[in-house]
Amino acid sequence: MAHQLEPPPPIDLTAPTITRTERIVVNRTAPELFDWMMAAKLEESMGEVGSLPGVVGTTVLTPGAWGVTGSRRKVHLSDGGAATEQILETILGERWRYQVWDYTTAAAAPILYGLGEFRYRPLEGGRTELIWTYAFRLRPNGPLGLLGPVGRWLLKVAFLDRAYAVLMRETLKGMKRGAEAAGR
């Protein structure tokens, strides 16, 4: 099935992005939390927040289970939109990086792709600091992209540091609840 999929947009490591990082401490070891996140349903942690749609389901597009490098899935949103997500790198129990593109929801219209990373930092007492970083690359020929640094600043202050920051924090709280409940 993977050979029939369109390739994701190329990642330009020199292109400017806007980035945000959020953190939460979870009462699970790093390997336990990592395993839980790979098996959990995204829609159970990532609901609607304010004007942003939540996840209502996912469809795996590549053979095998979600969670290995190259895994790809379609993420279905509560506003009828969707996005495609693919794991770029997985280091078991330590971190995983992914790319998101093909956004069809209105809130993401200026975005060419997103790059996400979850890092798992072990703490004393079997706890883990979960660190989620997300970066957006604007469409270079879109209205905000054509504004260069001003367009990135506008997206950051109007979207990433407001609505998307709340979405990230609420998603992390949902992941914490789910992972800790699964460990009981």
Q: How many domains does the chain have?
A: 1
Residue 3 — pLDDT band, cuts 50, 70, 90?
low
Which of 38-42, 104-108, 114-118 has the least mean pLDDT?
A: 104-108
* Position 1 in a domain: no
If we measure between CA atoms, which residue out of 52, 18, 19 comes closest to residue 151?
18
Count of residues making up the chain? 184
In a domain, 136, yes or no: yes
What's the CATH code of the domain at 112? 3.30.530.20
Which two three-digit tokens encode residue 75? Answer: 């993420």
Extract the tokens encoding 55.
Answer: 């996840």
Burial 121-137 (b: 16+ CB within 10 A, else e): eeeeeebbebbbbbbbb
Please check whether residue 129 is in contact with residue 141, taking contact to mean a CB–CB distance below 8 angstroms.
Answer: no
- pTM tops 0.95: no
pLDDT for the residue numbered 1: 47
* CA–centroid distance for 80 within its chain: 18
pLDDT mean over 47-74: 91
Distance CA 156, CA 81 (A): 22
Give the range of the structural domain holding residue 160, as residue numbers without chain letter: 21-182
76 falls within a domain = yes
- Strand ordering across the sheet containing 18-26: 18-26, 127-138, 111-123, 95-101, 82-91, 72-77, 55-60
